[in-house]
Structure 1
Amino acid sequence: MVVSEEEFSRLFRVRRTVMQMLKDRGYLVTDSEINMSKNDFKLKYPENLTREDLFISRTKKNDPSDQIYVFFLEKRPENTMVGTDAIRTCILRMESEGVYTAILVVQPKLTHYALQFFAEKSSKCHLETFQESELLVNITEHVNVPEHKVLTDSEKKTLLERYTVKESQLPRIQVTDPVARYYGLECEQVVRITRLSENSGKYMTYRYVV
């Protein structure tokens, strides 16, 4: 089945945001992959492109053993949602290849049973899900979204000792916050947020992920 021009453009934008997101999380992604033109995207992928063709595998810059898969899931032909079978196929591949972190990019939504299955499997491996509509634009490029950086354990310890506070006393950011989801923040992490001010230049605040 030949993909329409509109669908091709959509997938091009979604893939570009995913590549940016992976790079911002510390995975090995080249600038050429992020800046790929739409014409080059067409040359790379066939006219009968399926979402399965967009599969991505990357490792962390500082830890080659830390690997992530990105699966792009099609909706079921007889339904408007993505079902359990699609998730099960992804997990079986991860298990067979020893990968325990993945992002599932779904075309519309997951079915009720798929959501239950997803929640069950998320306890055994780190799974995240995004709808394509959430990835059409990179929200961190918006002028009102400041820079976020997760502190290392040593950086967090230094911060808490400097201000004589417990991490739970810091202002909070929900793990479900769109920016937190983009960066893949996890509960109990501390993130440094750098904002720009016309009066004082850069200033930093810290948030505890809950």
Structure 2
Amino acid sequence: MSSSDEEIKKLHKVRKTLMQMLNDRGYLVTDDEINMTKQQFIEHFGDNMTRDNLFMIKNKRYDTSDQIVVFFLIPEPSKDIIGIVPLRKCIERMQSEKIYKAILVTEHGLTTAAKKAVQLPSIRLEVFLDSELMYNVTEHDLVPVHQVLTDEEKKEVLEKYHVKETQLPSMPVTDAVARYYGLQRGQVVKIIRPSENAGTYVTYRYVS
């Protein structure tokens, strides 16, 4: 059975945002993948595509051993939200591929049990709803430029201003931009805003 036009339109938008997200995180993504039109999307995946067809594995540009996998989850029959069974299949595939980071894309979210199951010490699982990926949050007019600092850059900033990381203004790890970049607690972000007087105004945020 063919996917509805609305479903195809949605999945095309979601996948495009994901490609932009992975590119901004430093993964190897081509311009063709980012700029794929809806018609090209249909030609590539077919008009009877399922969410499974959108599965992908990407590696960092300069470190092919650093990989991430993206699953477009499908709930079990008669259920809307994702339970333990499909989640377990994802984890088993990751273990077989020896990949320890994943983005899980779901239409309606996870059950309470599944939410607990994603909190694993050895595997990092990020969960995004389709609705959260319908647009790129960093392209919003009110969102300033964010630059994730390396450990060395973070050290230089702390030494320059003679502060501890926890003395910087904080950004919650649940912030939409923090989630977009896949930030973790302890990282520091440089935020650049336009300024009428100085041209640009720079601040730093500590991810808490």
TM-score normalized by the length of structure 2: 0.97
Q: Counterpart in 2 of 1:66? A: 66
Q: Shift of residue 47 of structure 1? A: 2.1
Q: Shift of residue 106 of structure 1? A: 0.8
Q: Counterpart in 2 of 1:175? A: 173
- Local SS of the residue matching 1:29: coil
Q: After alignment, is 13-22 or 150-159 more displaced?
A: 150-159
Q: Counterpart in 2 of 1:95? A: 95
Residue segments in structure 1 that go unaligned for 5+ positions in a row: none
1:60-89 residue CA offsets vs partner (Å, 9 max, x unmatched): 112111000010001222111111111111
* Aligned equivalents of 2:38, 2:137: Cα separation in 1: 20
Q: Counterpart in 1 of 2:24? A: 24
* Aligned equivalents of 1:177, 1:93: Cα separation in 2: 29
Q: Counterpart in 1 of 2:135? A: 137
RMSD: 1.0
List structure 1 runs of 4+ shifted beyond 2 angstroms. none
Correspondence 1:44-59 to 2 at 5 A: 44-59=44-59
Q: Counterpart in 2 of 1:156? A: 154
* Aligned equivalents of 1:138, 1:92: Cα separation in 2: 30
Q: After alignment, is 190-199 or 34-43 more displaced?
A: 190-199
Q: Counterpart in 2 of 1:110? A: 110
Q: Counterpart in 2 of 1:126? A: 124
Q: Shift of residue 202 of structure 1? A: 1.6
- Local SS of the residue matching 1:82: coil
- Local SS of the residue matching 2:22: helix
